[in-house]
Structure 1
């Protein structure tokens, strides 16, 4: 009953309201309910931008303006928005607080995703050492090894799903090694991550919410046992260090592990899948990369800009402040449409074009900005470059055999399935 009441307050009521607004043409509601319709979020994002740099709606303030989004993300007058922080009537907010399920969720405190400094600073400092460019650079050989294993598996498949057999497998293997999770538990971690991902959306169905809660419970039980094992037999991984040094409480440890596990592969899976589809739809750009492989790092930035793996985030004003000639009262929430901001024509010329040679592609906001900029951005970029460049070098005849299937999610935008025929590996063709 407690879970159901929480769902009603966070999703059931808001979801019904948003669906009604979407039917009447409200663009933000269209975006927030797009998992049901399968429509692209970018046309309604453009309509919001046409209405103004910062638009007031009955639900929340919203911006699809690149400069405004970047400014708010970097502004100390704004903080993150926990589930009970989104603009809602007082009784609903009290219901959310009264039904706290006390789970190690990546989208609820004490997860660093939804806490502000000084707590955020303390958590991030402890974990950041694993994700510095130097630390990530040391992982490059291992990323290459795992990629090679996955490509060898693809070579044995006349037909494959590029998500299940490739895009999922690389990032989960790497993040499990970072957390010291045994290889045989990778599928378990994938299931937990997928089940919990919808919690980043608003208005999800009851069955989806119930499944996500069940996954969080299973995840918490596993992580707690895993931490206990690492305290007895620590390894060379970040979670062992955190578990042994005692600087985090058990709830903080579990929340940090859950966030690193989920964010560590969900974003990268979407990056890889979105990139493969974009290159399939723009073969001239793939030809350019094959002719000039040094362009791959910039191509990853353009993939991130063109179809952002994370579409939005929320921020709450910590005091009365002014942005884009509008006064935002303390406690008001702003929805920042990162994906739509990446299509802002004031920053990106011809934003609907996919151009791997775009000189300012790296100005995208797909990894957020400010103190909450994605901790694993360097790792995701490296995985993208290594994996996609190797895939297309190994399989020059790679082709999609059916229409790619989108995930039924709003915020984590990516693909569920990409059916493909890899074709003969390059070595086999030249033998």
Structure 2
């Protein structure tokens, strides 16, 4: 019986990270509300401006078109694509599934083919594509509503086709090849800028949402479990209740069959493991495990669960410090950190207990860390920094109130006064 988890669709440093279902659902809701619909609305307005500009260009060229339907068959097809895709997107809750993307791409290809067939050999008299370039602009809102790779590739294909058509007419078009190439570039550039903006905004939203979700762990009590552990406990509880109900109702005979007995033993073992881990599985471990940016980059060395003794302000400061070192690295290097927590040897003060925290960072220099990191470390306690090749080390001496040490029984091996 496995626990259902939802894998985030992230890249780079987040690849392979599996976020708990509730955390992933919360991140997805925020992303859909801010990084999808609202962003797509603004991009749709920009798309409308671009399409209107190309339409005005088509109207200006109508006087030099030879007798015939002119550019209007392609524009009628473009209008049908716009109306159909807009209606389908609105009906689907502003989502673009694969089948709708395929329809949009087919519509864009149809518009390009219709126009190129109509203006074949006319570049020499100044007639350049209009509807084809406008059709490529329709990929801009699509990039805001789903993954950006397919719209970007499609726009490059459209631009390459228009550029190739212009170059093939170089012998007869002369200097008009340059405007033809400019139109081909206009089919690609807006989509490229859109993809850059959308990807940057999504990274920003994803990082801020991840930080907000992880910061929720700083207020948890000593014995609380994180989202990942609570989901596992809920699943274990459900499995155990189902098994007991089947036994009590007589659906499973007694003595238990070998396979059911093995399942019961597995459930009991998993419950024991979870209960043992829960004694030292502090908020800091939950924060690191449940963060797409800290998971796999930060190692917590706190076998006795001393992180639970920090105040909420100290917890938040330590978490933000790790975030700025590992998750907010402005350079392309891969930064990592090891956090060690242990008691200091000085127990002379009757009011406070000294707790030593060491942050050993690798892959980043202290000069490249945001200034906010040092402010966050200052809220944890007094600190000293030692630079070394390929990283740096921060030694923090913080004070924890003795009353917080007496609110819960110490874990196994916890040192106390006089020991």
- Please classify the TM superposition score into its range, dividing by the shorter chain length: under 0.3
RCO higher in structure (CA 8 A, sep ≥6): 1
Pair member with larger Rg: 2
Task: State the TM-score, normalizing by the size of structure 1.
Answer: 0.22
TM-score (norm 2): 0.23
